[in-house]
Every structure is written in C-alpha cells, then in structure tokens.
Amino acid sequence: MTSTEVRRADRPAIRHLISIDDLRDDELTALVTRGAAFSSGAAGRPRPLEGAVAGIYFSRTSTRTRTAFSSGALRLGAQIVAYGPGDLQLNTGETSEDTGRVMSRMLDVLVARTAGDPAEMRAWAAQSRMSVVNAMSADEHPTQALTDLTTLYGRFGRIEGLRVLYAGEGNNTAAALALALTRFPGVEFELRTPPGYGLTASVRRRAEAHAARHGAVLRERHDMADLPAGLDAVYTTRWQTTGTSKPDPHWRTVFAPFRVTAALWAGSPKAVFLHDLPAHRGEEVTAEVLDGPASIAFDQAENKLHSAMAVLEWCRGQGPAPAEPHP
C-alpha cells in the first residue's frame, strides 16, 4: 500500500496531492490541460463525484481556495462538509493518524489548509479510503501552482519555453511554482527574493534537479538589478503570507525594493501580470499594475475553480495513473 494510491475492488483508485512532487510529469501536464479545458468550457459538465462527500477543512483564512474547492466539488456532483479551525478533535489532542482513519470512513476526499508542515497531511493520507488534497501548508501551495500553470497555459497555449519572473518572498506559493515550472522544457524561471527570504534549501535543490532533468533554468537573486528582458509573465504575492509573521520588525524596508511597478514592463512590454491574491495595492504591487491591462490576476483567481475541479476529478481516479510517492 502506498499513500499515493490504494486500489480496492469496491472503489476507484485513491490519489493524494500533498506536494507537486507527488505528481509524475504526465500527471502534472494532464492536470494543467484539464484545468484549462474546464476554464474554456471544453470539458463539458462531468459529474464523477456523484454520490461522494468532500470534507473542506481550513484552519486558516481563505477566500479563493476554499470557495473554489467547495464550488468545484458541488459542480462535480459531490456533497460537502465544511470544518473551521476549532471544529476537529485535533484541538483536544487526537492524533493526526486517528483523525485521518476516522474521517476516511465518512468522507471520500478531504481538502485541507493548515499552518503546519505536510507531515500532518501525510498522516491523514495513511489510509485506504479517502483522498487528501493540500490546499496550502506552511511549506508549499501545490494547488496554487496548478492554477498558475493553468492560467499561463490558457494564455499562451503552452508552458514550455516561457520566461517567468517572480518578485517577492520565497514562500509556499513560490516553492510550488518553482517545483512545477522547472518540469517543462525551455522554461526560464527567475526569482528575485529579499535577502533572508528566499527559497528553502530543500525546495531549491529539488527544483534545480527538475530543471536539470527537463532542460529548464532556475535562477534566484536577492536584488532587483539587471532584470531580464523579454519576459512572458511577472508574478508576485502578498508580502505577509496568510497565517505567518516575520521576526524582523524592519522587514518592510527589506522588501520595498521588490515591489512590482510599471517600470518592470520597460523591457518586457508584452508580459502578463499574475498575483495569487489577496493583494495589498501599494505594497507588493502598485494599483497601476494590478488593475492595468497586463494583469490577468482575476482570471487567475477564477481558474482556482477550474483547477480545483481537475484535481478533484483526478483524485477520484480520473485521468492518467498516479505516480509512486516520493521518499
């Protein structure tokens, strides 16, 4: 038995999405193109979750992701049970393993956002009945990366060969994006992160390994000098990641040079702008950019729904066969 797939005679394959690295290359591509098909209307109105029950557990605030997975599950035929941060007996000391075992006997899929590391979700996934989806943990936001790639694919018709600049903290969104983009040939992904706020060593090592294997390029610098020209996309996120705080009281001064302004388009006039939202105009991005003609951030937000539907469909055994879990 693996935590990625459990086959049983009386139910479909069970698949978990806890990290982008849980996906094979063909699965990653399939989820992106399937999300784009939902977005364009080409996917029709399938109901593969008819009769299923999806648990929606968010211990941290969420507008887009929670709404996307709730709406997506309903559109695919499932019923939903929603949990808030104070609703589970985890708060009284029940183990994650026991929580997962119990919930798996009542739910078909659990979509969860936590403030912890993915070990808790791996514990929930150590059973044979219920799929587990990471809707954001402290280290990675895999469903955001799928949304981002779905948006880029819908805009450009490809991921291969795109040139993407990310400016801001090397947070869980940046981590997932690095792990996903580097698996497409010819991609150039450049991160400009404040000193002391870059990708973790683990994420960087894994992303560099993907890039070497697929013929992509990953670069990270801690300044905004000598930016590349001819970019296809510029991406940023809010500086204060949901549910976190920074120990340095002067962190805003460190982050200020990484604000996305219209000046970034001087060498890349055709670049689109992405933001995972919520946005703080005047902090990580100016209103001129976020509300300007280059911005596709609100199309990107809508694609949360389409990408969520692709993930839920895949979790219940649709699409290509699942990968073996990563060690």
CATH number attached to the domain at 142-302: 3.40.50.1370
Residues 6+ apart with CB under 8 A from 323: 4, 22, 23, 24, 27
Which sequence spans correspond to the domains of the chain? 20-140+304-315, 142-302
pLDDT of residue 195: 96
Mean pLDDT per 10-residue run, the chain (327 residues)? 41 85 97 97 93 96 96 98 91 90 96 87 93 96 98 98 98 97 98 97 98 98 97 96 78 96 98 97 98 98 98 83 43
pLDDT of residue 3: 38
**Identical fold between 20-140+304-315 and 142-302:** yes
Tokens matching residue 64: 């887009």
Give the 3-state DSSP-derived string for the chain, with helices as H, strands as E and coil as C. Answer: CCCCCCCECCECCCCCECCHHHCCHHHHHHHHHHHHHHHHCCCCCCCCCCCCEEEEEECCCCCHHHHHHHHHHHHCCCEEEEECCCCCHHHHCCCHHHHHHHHHCCCCEEEEECCCCCHHHHHHCCCCCCEEEECCCCCCCHHHHHHHHHHHHHHHCCCCCCEEEEECCCCHHHHHHHHHHCCCCCCEEEEECCCCCCCCHHHHHHHHHHHHHHCCEEEEECCCCCCCCCCCEEEECCCCCCCCCCCCCCHHHHHHHHCECHHHHCCCCCCEEEECCCCCECCCECHHHHCCCCECHHHHHHHHHHHHHHHHHHHCCCCCCCCCCCC
Name residue, tokens 């890039």: 211
Whole-prediction pTM: 0.92
- What homologous superfamily is domain 20-140+304-315 in, according to CATH? Aspartate/ornithine carbamoyltransferase (3.40.50.1370)
Tokens matching residue 253: 């001064």
pLDDT of residue 5: 41
pLDDT of residue 324: 47
Residue of 98, 101, 69 lying closest to 83 (CA atoms): 69
Alpha-carbon distance 2 to 10, whole Å? 18
Tokens matching residue 46: 């399938």
Residues 6+ apart with CB under 8 A from 257: 194, 223, 224
Residues 6+ apart with CB under 8 A from 184: 159, 160, 162, 214, 216
